[in-house]
Amino acid sequence: NAGVMQNPRHLVRRRGQEARLRCSPMKGHSHVYWYRQLPEEGLKFMVYLQKENIIDESGMPKERFSAEFPKEGPSILRIQQVVRGDSAAYFCASSPPTTGVTGELFFGEGSRLTVL
Amino acid sequence: AQKVTQAQTEISVVEKEDVTLDCVYETRDTTYYLFWYKQPPSGELVFLIRRNSFDEQNEISGRYSWNFQKSTSSFNFTITASQVVDSAVYFCALSEGLTGGGNKLTFGTGTQLKVEL
């Protein structure tokens, strides 16, 4: 069973460009989560999605950030008009549909965004 | 709101020393889970342990052990006879159930452990 796959692992963008990060959950997992880790900090929850639905986006910045998890294909975290403060590691996690509060999240290896 | 505090920002030990990483949490939930993750220099997150709020038994796995004290809202992690390969950032986390059946982890800020020869 392949784990959670994230790509690209490293992405460099100039200020004002767009960044797209992709996440393929583990087989059989229908819940996807995105977390952001700023330098020297812990991971912060951004958004929780199920297929074609955003369930909780309480951690998403109000502007420039969006996420989707289409019926087919990977989940996408999109950052428009990137700024230097967006430089961070973005982790995707997935879980099976019956996880509940048990917290069985399986993390990908992260995508590291650098904004020049 | 959920909160996880890891007061130790950085710890340095000499190989073979024992080291304890502290974790204190806050939650109003009666059912919750606590976790420890390791983040080596390569950057990935490695799951170490999950413990539910109803199980206060201490757990030991090789050189690792965990002490869950509900009375003090603490979930401390001890590495016995530390090794250089233990050098990493260690995160404590607390789960919270979400609408839709998912869950959210609240992470502490991490403790950087450096084990030197």
**Could you read off the pLDDT of A50-80 as tens digits, one per residue?**
989 999 999 999 999 999 999 999 999 999 9
DSSP letter at A71? Answer: S
8 Å CB contact of A103 and B35:
yes
> What is the pLDDT, as a whole number, of residue B29?
86
Spell out which chain A residues touch chain B, with contact meaning CB-CB distance below 8 angstroms. Answer: 31, 33, 35, 41-45, 48, 50, 53, 55-56, 89, 91, 95, 97-107, 109-110, 112
Calpha distance A30→A69 (Å, rounded): 9
pLDDT of residue B5 exceeding 90, the answer is yes
Is the distance from CB of B101 to CB of B12 less than 8 angstroms? Answer: no
Mean pLDDT in chain B? 91
Is the distance from CB of A48 to CB of A5 less than 8 angstroms? Answer: no
Cβ neighbours of B104 (radius 10 Å)? 23
* A5: Cβ contacts below 8 Å, ≥ 6 apart: A23, A24, A74, A108
Distance of CA B82 to the CA centre of its chain: 16
Inform me whether the C-beta atom of residue B99 falls under 8 Å from chain A C-beta atoms: yes
Model confidence at A99, pLDDT cuts 50, 70, 90, reads: low
For residue A109, the chain B residue with the least C-alpha distance is: B44
Cβ-based burial of B111 (10 A; exposed 0-12, middle 13-18, buried ≥19): buried
pLDDT of residue B67 exceeding 80, the answer is yes
8 Å CB contact of B100 and A56:
yes
